[in-house]
Structure 1
Amino acid sequence: MLSARTKETSIPADTKKSTVMKSILKLKAVLRQHVILMLCLFTLVLSISSAADFTTSAKQALILDYTNNIVLFEHNADEIMHPSSMSKLMTLYLMFSKLKAGIVKMDDVYRVSKNAWEKRGSTMFLKEGQKVKVEDLLKGIAILSGNDASVVVAEGSMGSEEAFVEEMNQTAKSMGLSNSSFVNTTGLTAQNHYMSARDVVKLAVKIYEDFPEYYYLFSEKGLMFNNIKQNNTNEMLSLYHQRDLKFDGIKTGSTDAGGFGVVVSFLADGRRFFILVNGLKSKRDRSTEVQKLARYSLANFKSKRIFSKGEHIAILNVLYSSKRVLPITVPKDVYAVYGKSEEGITVTLKYRDCVPAPVRKGEIVGELILTTPFVEKIFPLAVDEGAGKLFSPLYLIFRFLF
């Protein structure tokens, strides 16, 4: 039985990709002189920096580079906290799910109960007995953080707020939100109603991914309803002077117990970020801290594309087929996050040098391992073409002779 052999090759960060490909091919040629079946290992060295010490005045905080799926900073991220109106993200998630499933329609009409009308705190100024479209109620929750609207959609869609809350907890469990518990749809302070910063960010990301068609609701600057004009509670949407930070959602929260908080998303430098802060003393402090964390992210963490989606980065040898080789690609872009001062990161390609036919187009034949001081990420390696199997004994004789 042939043993697997490995070899590592290091190339400077500024080496052009054409040189990288030549090095890969040269490495493969050397290895093929020794064995037919083997495990190829290729290492590319780039540079990255470790983050400088950073502090926040928020009681809980988290920065997620969503594009690269890396948490850049966290502070008490798994600590149980009062999420305040950020809880309404789960209320909205359930309503979006019902819309997508056809259980609820945007033009459905719900009646405002006395229970909903009496809710204190942020409000849509609904009137008892008023009939309101689901679309308007969802806007009232996403834009104005209406406690009254949150209760109306719960009662209208499930019959009672209690039944709706039970579904909120079931959904949280299925999502893996292990530090979350809900007792109401509004986020008003109550015993056993809590979330963690990490759970809130996970939920915000789920809304962004699962319901892009409804995400626009969070970016609306204001809402006119019942002849009352109110601005979006998310003041980050109105930072016109911050042209390089394009905030577009998602949800604020503030209570005496929880302080001022927000989970916000923005685009900058070709990347999407999610930032959460909570436990601050004022709306102004909340805004200042979000901008501070956003600036920290951009100043200390850059992103570089190492390989492009579909790029041919290696060659797979094929036995028993008219095609002797197949190109190996990455099915998605591969990015590395790096900083100011240089430290090593590695990209490792692991795949079989030679496989028997048949091979299907898109078949996974190995993996790319991106290792940085922050995280290790694994990407699949796939073949860009297929190769059928030939059964002719004569062909096989000529194949191995020549």
Structure 2
Amino acid sequence: MNITTLAQRVFLLVLLIAAPAVWAAEPMIPSPPQLAAKSWVLMDASSGQIITEYNSDQRLPPASLTKLMTAYIATLEIQRGRIKEGDMVNVSEHAWRTGGSRMFIQVGNQVSVSDLLHGIIIQSGNDASVAMAEHIAGSEDAFADMMNTTAQRLGMSNTHYMNATGLPNPDHYSSAHDIAKLSRAIIYEEPTHYAIYSQKEFFWNNIKQPNRNLLLWRDKTVDGLKTGHTEEAGYCLAASAVREGMRLIAVVFGTNSEQARAAETQKLLTYGFRFFETQSFYKKGVELARAPVWKGTEKEVSAGLADDLTMTLPRGQLKKLKAEIVMNPQITAPIAKGQAIGKVEVKLDDKVMHTADLVALQPVEEGGFFRKLWDSIRLFFYGLFN
């Protein structure tokens, strides 16, 4: 064997040995799991990006997932100081007579807001939900109006509420995508009370009832949110989990059993954590650039983002991303705070993966007569030579 042939074979052997290491650096992303459910969605909580979905905007009966909105409004009312956790709530006959799952409050008794909140979230009490609705809005119908107004604010375009419980009504519907949006708001807008969603049981009135979210027992990274079930809706679940700083939200509608909704939701969470990752590039309100201003009281304006720039992508792609800042070619006063004056483009190779507006971080007022005149002259000549 001559030296050239030997060298070629050694080179080929090195190439074959090295190749698996190269391939391993780029993990293969399999197709997302197909679930035994009517609809589902898997969302990264931080970025709000959807990782996978099926019929996620289909309008379906949400059953007790409705109570996520009931509890969310209650916690916001506490946060705003309009009600207090220690406030005592009178239990009406309407609340007491409400059918379905119950906290077992008694008509004419008084129950604290805090206990009702636990009864809504952990025990899925229809009676507790109606009592809370009446305490906040005076009637369940009025509370449903509050629910719909809040849904509109959150961009829940495929949701309409008729009651605080999720009991069947042809005009009461939501979608997996909308429930994921609501879950994200619950987690980030009112984190003080989010810990209730992870509690496995609640003892009240000498009755101990377990949380129906089986994933709280099966997966220690799961810390919420809520189950739902009616004959019409099937078995539904909204769940959230955190692993290595990454939080995912999975919502499943219309499975055929309590065991199935937990198992199918677990498939989504496993897929998301195994094959995707999230990275925050820039925080809102942080100065990323300074741009020249024409005809203003200031010569420059600070530019930043109105919202955090966070992205979720298949593992291995985030390290390839590059962010570029592109300012508007001519920025002229007056400039309002929050006014778009440029863009941030996040690219993978030459493909733009995400675009976000760069906004003015402070206002710039229009300059005086001589400043405007001088800048007009400069702009005239600038235009001639550019």
TM range (shorter): 0.7 to 0.9
C-alpha spacing 1:102/1:48, structure 2 compared with 1 (3 Å): farther
Percentage of matched positions with identical amino acids: 33
Per the TM alignment, residue 225 of structure 1 is displaced from its structure 2 partner at its CA by 0.3
C-alpha spacing 1:120/1:313, structure 2 compared with 1 (3 Å): closer
Instruction: Give the aligned partner of residue 110 of structure 2.
Output: 131
Q: Which among 343, 346, 349 is matched to residue 325 of structure 2? A: 349
Instruction: Give the aligned partner of residue 343 of structure 2.
Output: 367
Whole-angstrom CA distance in 1 between matches of 2:121 and 2:269 = 22
Whole-angstrom CA distance in 2 between matches of 1:74 and 1:225 = 38
Superposed CA offset, 1:320-377 (max 9, x none): 9xxx999987788755433257697553321369989999999986331124689524
**Residues matched between the structures, number:** 345
Q: Which among 256, 259, 262 is matched to residue 231 of structure 2? A: 256
Answer whether contact 1:317 1:325 (CA < 8 A) is retained: yes
Instruction: Give the aligned partner of residue 73 of structure 2.
Output: 94
C-alpha spacing 1:330/1:200, structure 2 compared with 1 (3 Å): closer
2:167 maps to 1:188: yes
Per the TM alignment, residue 133 of structure 1 is displaced from its structure 2 partner at its CA by 1.0
2:124 maps to 1:145: yes
C-alpha spacing 1:48/1:268, structure 2 compared with 1 (3 Å): same
Answer whether contact 2:305 2:356 (CA < 8 A) is retained: no
Instruction: Give the aligned partner of residue 282 of structure 1.
Output: 257
C-alpha spacing 1:213/1:350, structure 2 compared with 1 (3 Å): same
SS of the residue corresponding to residue 58 of structure 1 reads coil
Superposed CA offset, 1:50-96 (max 9, x none): 95322222211111112222111111011011100001122122222
Answer whether contact 1:48 1:339 (CA < 8 A) is retained: no
Structure 2 length-normalised TM: 0.74
SS of the residue corresponding to residue 122 of structure 1 reads coil
C-alpha spacing 1:364/1:122, structure 2 compared with 1 (3 Å): same
Per the TM alignment, residue 285 of structure 1 is displaced from its structure 2 partner at its CA by 1.0
SS of the residue corresponding to residue 192 of structure 2 reads coil
Superposed CA offset, 1:108-152 (max 9, x none): 212222322222221111122221111111110011110110111
One-letter amino acid of the structure 1 residue matched with residue 37 of structure 2: A
Whole-angstrom CA distance in 2 between matches of 1:325 and 1:164 = 48
Superposed CA offset, 1:155-181 (max 9, x none): 233332222223222332343322112
Q: Which among 32, 39, 58 is matched to residue 79 of structure 1? A: 58
C-alpha spacing 1:366/1:111, structure 2 compared with 1 (3 Å): same
Larger relative contact order, structure 1 or 2 (CA cutoff 8 Å, min sep 6): 1
Per the TM alignment, residue 99 of structure 1 is displaced from its structure 2 partner at its CA by 2.2
Instruction: Give the aligned partner of residue 236 of structure 1.
Output: 215
Answer whether contact 1:260 1:281 (CA < 8 A) is retained: yes
Per the TM alignment, residue 259 of structure 1 is displaced from its structure 2 partner at its CA by 0.9
Answer whether contact 2:343 2:355 (CA < 8 A) is retained: no
Whole-angstrom CA distance in 1 between matches of 2:184 and 2:340 = 28
Answer whether contact 1:366 1:382 (CA < 8 A) is retained: no
Answer whether contact 1:50 1:339 (CA < 8 A) is retained: no
SS of the residue corresponding to residue 323 of structure 2 reads strand
Q: Which among 203, 222, 228 is matched to residue 247 of structure 1? A: 222
Whole-angstrom CA distance in 1 between matches of 2:176 and 2:80 = 29
C-alpha spacing 1:336/1:160, structure 2 compared with 1 (3 Å): closer
Answer whether contact 1:316 1:353 (CA < 8 A) is retained: no
SS of the residue corresponding to residue 240 of structure 2 reads strand
One-letter amino acid of the structure 1 residue matched with residue 174 of structure 2: M
One-letter amino acid of the structure 1 residue matched with residue 146 of structure 2: E
SS of the residue corresponding to residue 183 of structure 1 reads coil
Per the TM alignment, residue 217 of structure 1 is displaced from its structure 2 partner at its CA by 2.0
Whole-angstrom CA distance in 2 between matches of 1:312 and 1:159 = 46
Q: Which among 75, 79, 85 is matched to residue 106 of structure 1? A: 85
Whole-angstrom CA distance in 1 between matches of 2:333 and 2:172 = 57
Instruction: Give the aligned partner of residue 272 of structure 2.
Output: 297
Answer whether contact 2:306 2:359 (CA < 8 A) is retained: yes
Whole-angstrom CA distance in 2 between matches of 1:316 and 1:175 = 33
Q: Mapping of 1:1-400 within 5 angstroms?
A: 52-54=30-32, 55-239=34-218, 242-243=219-220, 246-304=221-279, 334-340=309-315, 346-351=322-327, 366-371=342-347, 376-378=354-356, 380=358
Calculate the aligned-residue CA RMSD, in Å. 4.0
Answer whether contact 1:349 1:368 (CA < 8 A) is retained: yes
Whole-angstrom CA distance in 2 between matches of 1:85 and 1:374 = 40
C-alpha spacing 1:118/1:371, structure 2 compared with 1 (3 Å): farther
User: Runs of 5+ in structure 1 lacking a partner?
Assistant: 1-46, 392-402
One-letter amino acid of the structure 2 residue matched with residue 286 of structure 1: R
Whole-angstrom CA distance in 2 between matches of 1:310 and 1:155 = 40
Query: Once structures 1 and 2 are overlaid, which stretch shifts more, 53-62 or 369-378?
Result: 369-378
Structure 1 length-normalised TM: 0.71
Instruction: Give the aligned partner of residue 14 of structure 1.
Output: none
Whole-angstrom CA distance in 2 between matches of 1:170 and 1:310 = 28
